Structure 1
Amino acid sequence: MAGDLQVLNALDVAKTQWYHFTAVIIAGMGFFTDAYDLFCISLVTKLLGRIYYHVDGAPKPGSLPPNVAAAVNGVALCGTLAGQLFFGWLGDKLGRKKVYGLTLMLMVICSVASGLSFGHEPKSVMATLCFFRFWLGFGIGGDYPLSATIMSEYANKKTRGAFIAAVFAMQGFGILSGGVFAIIISSAFNFWFSAPPYAVDPAASTVPQADFVWRIILMVGALPALMTYYWRMKMPETARYTALVAKDVGRANKDMAKVLDTEIEEQKPAAAAEEEEIIARSRQQQQQQGYGLFSREFIRRHGTHLLGTTTTWFLLDIAFYSQNLFQKDIFSAVGWIPPPQTMNAIQEVYRIARAQTLIAMVSTVPGYWFTVVLIDVIGRFAIQLIGFFFMTVFMFALAIPYDHWKQSGNRIWFVVLYALTFFFANFGPNATTFVVPAEIFPARVRSTCHGISAASGKLGAIVGAFGFLYLAQDRDKAKADAGYPAGIGVRNSLIVLGFVNLLGLLFTFLVPESKGKSLEEMSGEQEEDDSSAAASNNDNRTVPVTVA
């Protein structure tokens, strides 16, 4: 049926129209919010340590205990993993649109609630913060498979990769906006509620108003999601889901004609009885050709592909989230961010935000948009290989002469090489691992398989977030008084990440190229329908439509 449905052919060859760009913005604002919410926590974790774990008379500012730091940084990732699996499955069962708004409202509510974390003791504040950030991550997780699937099913086959990548590229603007907003807030609070550096006056280095800084930064993440909610609810279900899964071809025609501003007319309207017969036949064909997730037939057709998408996303996110969540620690280790004793608490937020904003501006955001421009030119496979290769090269270039980079005259070159790892992550596997799972699996399990692939990535992010926190501790300078174990040091941690990227390059060879091919061709649905048609004595008919 997929091969004969002209509504799907019309989608594949449709010219790029205004609605394509509208869909990018509507879906992309979810990823803008996702990135803001996931990564803004790295801007304020040191501030949380100063506010809630400062000990009067201590020689250094307070810091989060290792278990608390791991929980604060990683709990949202745990929620994201759960949300990707749950909403990915639900998107195939109920439809993409029916659960699309739910993920957004969950993000709005939990962003605000995270900033309102309550309690009289540090433990209660951190516990409520972690609780709300878990459910925030749960909503964020749902956005991954739904947004990717919706965009892939709306786009034409020539520019599909660019549009899916553009949705994901909104992450870059979310990361950048988080840093810019933190700079603005910290500058304003430092101006109105200034405090001397810690070394001058320990008691005054963290003014009471600093508690509002992290709360405001976390709560602002609700605004872009809230502004997008209405337009998400106005989006119709995708024509591919309606036609291939819900088996309502008439509705698919009407929805596509409305959103793509294309008139679709029936050549000769079939009688009601004949139309029911056609739909009944197509359902019977689906039952004959359909196979469940993880069935033998699925493993035979798509098992290698699913292994490729899950392993590459897992390995990529170990490195990517380690780099993003712990930029501040790496920059402090090489001396680019001054010691905390030389700054008050709000000044430290400003310095961290400025460093992360610079990295986002010169490498993260450009990397995303290089992918958007080139993905339908050179293909997904080539971009992923290029990205993993150069991430490996630059990680080793940072790690092997690490002591050389720590010298004051060489720090700027460390930052340049470090920025290049972000560029090639985004002009590389961070974008392509999101795009490809939305293109290569059948419509009936597309959202689920994307959710599984994305959840594998978040498992890698959890490994990176929790593992790097401990591994990066210098062996000879372990924070024994705070409970930190001796790690292998930043240098050896970067070497480990280099080998992780090398593995990602090797597993890329399990992933097929989908450039220029229709979704039905990539997923095998065209082949399935051809087989079913032959088995039905070549009498497979559909409601004829034409594109005016």
Structure 2
Amino acid sequence: MKWEDDGYARRDDDGRPVTFEEYQKKSSHNATERNRWNLTKGDLKMFAITGVGFFLDSYDLFIINLVTPVWLYEYWGGLDGRKPHYPPLLRGLVNAGSNIGNIIGQLTFGFLGDVFGRKFVYGKELIVVIIGTILTISLPNDIPTPTLKMIWLFCFRVLMGVGIGGDYPMSASIVSERSLLPKRGQLLGWIFSNQGWGTLTGSIATIIILASFSHALGAEGHYGQLDAVWRIQMGLGLVPAFATLYFRLTMPEGRKYLQSRELNGHSAAPNSNGAKNHDNSKPAQEPELDSLGNPSVSTNVGPSSSSIDATTAANENKLNPTSSTEGRTKYKAFFVYFSKWKHLKVLLGTTSTWFLLDVAFYGTNLNQSVLLDEIGFNTGKNEYDLLMRNAIGNLIIAVAGYVPGYFFTIYFIEKLGRRWIQIQGFLIVALMFAIIAGDYDHLGTAGKFVCFAFAQFFFNFGPNSTTFIIPAEVYPSRVRGLAHGTSAAVGKLGAILSALLFNYLSGPNIIGLANVLWVFFACNVLGAIITFFTIPETRNKDADVMDYEEWKERQAKLYPEDA
């Protein structure tokens, strides 16, 4: 559409008079469509650097599915048809090890990222992952008992989990702060989709590794080779970690984070002499950055866009808080921000929905091998066949449901919005669990398998993606790291709860697997309800702009004479 001014009206290409609002709306829509799918080199570089954390998250957390059967045979007497004796609570503890570490990492690195900056923290969490992984696969064979071996594995999987957990708030904040509004959700979805590739890679790698040992394991029955199998399975996660470490350690600080943090150092309270200690100048507005901190030309998309002309930005005054003032206030910014109910309500929403999701999501994924066995998928003439069949089952579910779900989210997130995708995902997953649990004794293996695949699809075209994306968008940069880390940490409490109790509760003498699935059903229904009442839509909304508008309103109320 071109503009023509005939002195009386603005007209479109067909000569029809249009209002300024109509023109602006259509121009913004066209800009949104152009920007959404036009991934720049900076976007792709950011995708590679930040995405590897979620690849490792998925690979390292869910490879436990495929490693646990190996441990059953190697350490717990599961060979030659004997029933392994791997205590359910110990098994749950080892499965939960990484998630326990996640909580520590999410809170710690989230806090440090808000206080000291993304650059100060980024890359350090990857070093922790590398150290934890190396120590995990270095399990000494001379440790005398299987229980002590599992304790070793638990301790260093906790350490590895600290690093993986730290990646959640840091990568989420960096991507959110360096993305243009029209494609912010898409980029966050792209980054998070690496979870799918991590799970898929774990299944493919396991099949290849087992095939490499097929003669020794399948033909000759040399099951001592299983020791090499699981160490290779876990050790492969070191490859992408080392490949991206340098780039994380050298990533520059994001300008949007620095701009947002200036509000922390601005005090509107009277000073010790009774005089006003406030500054009516704005926080600095900088040009929008494309991906890795480089200034780029951005198109305004509605009133919530944070882009501003560079010339205007250069003429605006900046806040210049003293270092002592900023030092005091940046530590308490999180508590000041969430002292307001409208912000606290959102935090309660993002934390509780992530918790409810992870109860069901990790309860399913950390124990997918158990579920495959329960529904009759795992069969074979010897231990090698059982391990291969288990890996193939995990691969089929990943290809059929797990990975495609992420890409549906990427495609639809800017069209449908975050809330809608999260609510429909919760409800459809609940339906799948209800079908399996309600007709558990009569539903065949194929029916259960299909329902699990659909559940995996709508986990990822649903709350597993959006519970990560929404906290990265709904909070301003100055509190985003810790707010996102807190949401993720509470979510991991749900994952730990499932990991510890799933094997215990699903036993036939407790409540059984069908009733555990009813618990998952209830978690998903409750998650949809909480989403509806507490979480706002974040599409095309800039939390930093909204935060600044709130600051201006506070200033106007405190000092009406300066308004």
Cα 1:254/1:156, change in 2 over 3 Å: closer
Q: Which moved more, 1:155-164 or 1:295-304?
A: 295-304
Alignment equivalent of 1:343, drawn from 382, 394, 405? 382
Name 2:451's counterpart in structure 1. Answer: 417
Cα 1:163/1:299, change in 2 over 3 Å: same
**Partner Cα distance (1:68, 1:206) in 2:** 27
Q: Contact conserved, 2:260 with 2:477, CA < 8 A, in 1?
A: yes
Q: Which moved more, 1:528-537 or 1:442-451?
A: 528-537
Structure with the bigger RCO (C-alpha within 8 Å, sep 6+) is 1
Aligned pairs for 1:376-395 within 5 A: 376-395=414-433
**Partner Cα distance (1:322, 1:180) in 2:** 22
Cα 1:398/1:532, change in 2 over 3 Å: same
**Partner Cα distance (1:94, 1:520) in 2:** 18
Following superposition, the deviation at residue 214 of structure 1 comes to 0.5
Cα 1:514/1:282, change in 2 over 3 Å: farther
Alignment equivalent of 2:400, drawn from 355, 362, 376? 362
Name 2:158's counterpart in structure 1. Answer: 134
**Partner Cα distance (2:447, 2:54) in 1:** 31
Cα 1:285/1:18, change in 2 over 3 Å: same
Following superposition, the deviation at residue 268 of structure 1 comes to 10
Q: Contact conserved, 1:48 with 1:64, CA < 8 A, in 2?
A: no
Name 1:64's counterpart in structure 2. Answer: 86
Q: Does 1:228 align with 2:228?
A: no
Name 1:8's counterpart in structure 2. Answer: none
Aligned pairs for 1:23-172 within 5 A: 23-54=46-77, 60-120=82-142, 121=144, 122-172=146-196
Q: Which moved more, 1:239-248 or 1:228-237?
A: 239-248
Cα 1:262/1:334, change in 2 over 3 Å: closer
Q: Contact conserved, 1:50 with 1:206, CA < 8 A, in 2?
A: no
Alignment equivalent of 1:323, drawn from 351, 359, 364? 364
Name 1:478's counterpart in structure 2. Answer: none
Q: Contact conserved, 2:98 with 2:161, CA < 8 A, in 1?
A: yes
**Partner Cα distance (1:343, 1:154) in 2:** 52
**Partner Cα distance (1:27, 1:349) in 2:** 32
**Partner Cα distance (1:38, 1:234) in 2:** 27
**Partner Cα distance (2:426, 2:320) in 1:** 46
Task: State TM-score, norm by structure 2.
Answer: 0.81
Q: Contact conserved, 1:45 with 1:64, CA < 8 A, in 2?
A: no
Q: Contact conserved, 2:115 with 2:330, CA < 8 A, in 1?
A: no
Q: Contact conserved, 1:289 with 1:528, CA < 8 A, in 2?
A: no
Deviation string 1:230-278 (CA, Å, 9 cap, x unpaired) is: 22223211221112216898996697698445388557977xxx97x75
Q: Which amino acid aligns with 2:257?
A: Y
Name 2:212's counterpart in structure 1. Answer: 188
Q: Which amino acid aligns with 1:212?
A: A
**Partner Cα distance (2:537, 2:324) in 1:** 30
Q: Does 1:307 align with 2:348?
A: yes
Q: Contact conserved, 1:108 with 1:223, CA < 8 A, in 2?
A: no
Name 2:528's counterpart in structure 1. Answer: 505
**Partner Cα distance (1:451, 1:30) in 2:** 15
**Partner Cα distance (1:308, 1:166) in 2:** 24
**Partner Cα distance (1:398, 1:287) in 2:** 54
**Partner Cα distance (1:93, 1:468) in 2:** 38
Q: Does 1:435 align with 2:469?
A: yes
> What SS is found at the alignment partner of 2:86?
coil
Alignment equivalent of 1:465, drawn from 484, 487, 499? 499
Q: Contact conserved, 2:178 with 2:291, CA < 8 A, in 1?
A: no
**Partner Cα distance (2:431, 2:458) in 1:** 10
Name 1:334's counterpart in structure 2. Answer: 375
> What SS is found at the alignment partner of 2:213?
helix
Deviation string 1:175-221 (CA, Å, 9 cap, x unpaired) is: 00011000100111113x1346xxxxxxx755211111001101111
Following superposition, the deviation at residue 301 of structure 1 comes to 3.2
Cα 1:265/1:387, change in 2 over 3 Å: closer
Q: Which moved more, 1:136-145 or 1:222-231?
A: 222-231
Q: Contact conserved, 1:46 with 1:64, CA < 8 A, in 2?
A: no
Following superposition, the deviation at residue 292 of structure 1 comes to 3.7
**Partner Cα distance (1:268, 1:456) in 2:** 39
Q: Does 1:495 align with 2:511?
A: no
Q: Which moved more, 1:506-515 or 1:292-301?
A: 292-301
Cα 1:268/1:190, change in 2 over 3 Å: closer
**Partner Cα distance (1:364, 1:382) in 2:** 19
Following superposition, the deviation at residue 33 of structure 1 comes to 0.8
**Partner Cα distance (2:352, 2:58) in 1:** 22
Name 2:233's counterpart in structure 1. Answer: 217
Deviation string 1:30-72 (CA, Å, 9 cap, x unpaired) is: 100111001101101121121112189x861434222321122
Cα 1:246/1:233, change in 2 over 3 Å: farther
Q: Contact conserved, 1:165 with 1:371, CA < 8 A, in 2?
A: yes
Aligned pairs for 1:227-266 within 5 A: 227-245=243-261, 259-260=293-294, 262=296, 266=311
Q: Which moved more, 1:15-24 or 1:487-496?
A: 15-24
**Partner Cα distance (1:297, 1:230) in 2:** 35
Following superposition, the deviation at residue 111 of structure 1 comes to 1.4
Aligned pairs for 1:397-408 within 5 A: 397-405=435-443
Q: Which moved more, 1:132-141 or 1:234-243?
A: 234-243
**Partner Cα distance (2:535, 2:560) in 1:** 35
Q: Contact conserved, 1:118 with 1:124, CA < 8 A, in 2?
A: no
Q: Contact conserved, 1:84 with 1:141, CA < 8 A, in 2?
A: yes
Alignment equivalent of 1:352, drawn from 366, 380, 390? 390
Cα 1:398/1:224, change in 2 over 3 Å: same
Cα 1:257/1:279, change in 2 over 3 Å: farther
**Partner Cα distance (2:324, 2:95) in 1:** 47
Cα 1:269/1:158, change in 2 over 3 Å: closer
**Partner Cα distance (2:334, 2:259) in 1:** 20
Q: Which amino acid aligns with 1:449?
A: A
Cα 1:241/1:331, change in 2 over 3 Å: same
Aligned residues: 497
Q: Which amino acid aligns with 2:474?
A: I
Q: Contact conserved, 1:113 with 1:219, CA < 8 A, in 2?
A: no
Deviation string 1:305-330 (CA, Å, 9 cap, x unpaired) is: 00100110000000000110111111
- Stretches of structure 2 lacking an aligned partner (at least 5 in a row): 1-30, 266-282, 298-308
**Partner Cα distance (2:87, 2:55) in 1:** 30
> What SS is found at the alignment partner of 1:298?
coil
Deviation string 1:417-472 (CA, Å, 9 cap, x unpaired) is: 11000000000000000011111123221110101000011000011111211111
Q: Contact conserved, 1:77 with 1:134, CA < 8 A, in 2?
A: yes
Q: Contact conserved, 1:291 with 1:298, CA < 8 A, in 2?
A: no
Alignment equivalent of 1:532, drawn from 544, 550, 555? 555
Task: State TM-score, norm by structure 1.
Answer: 0.83
Q: Contact conserved, 2:42 with 2:292, CA < 8 A, in 1?
A: no
**Partner Cα distance (1:205, 1:326) in 2:** 26
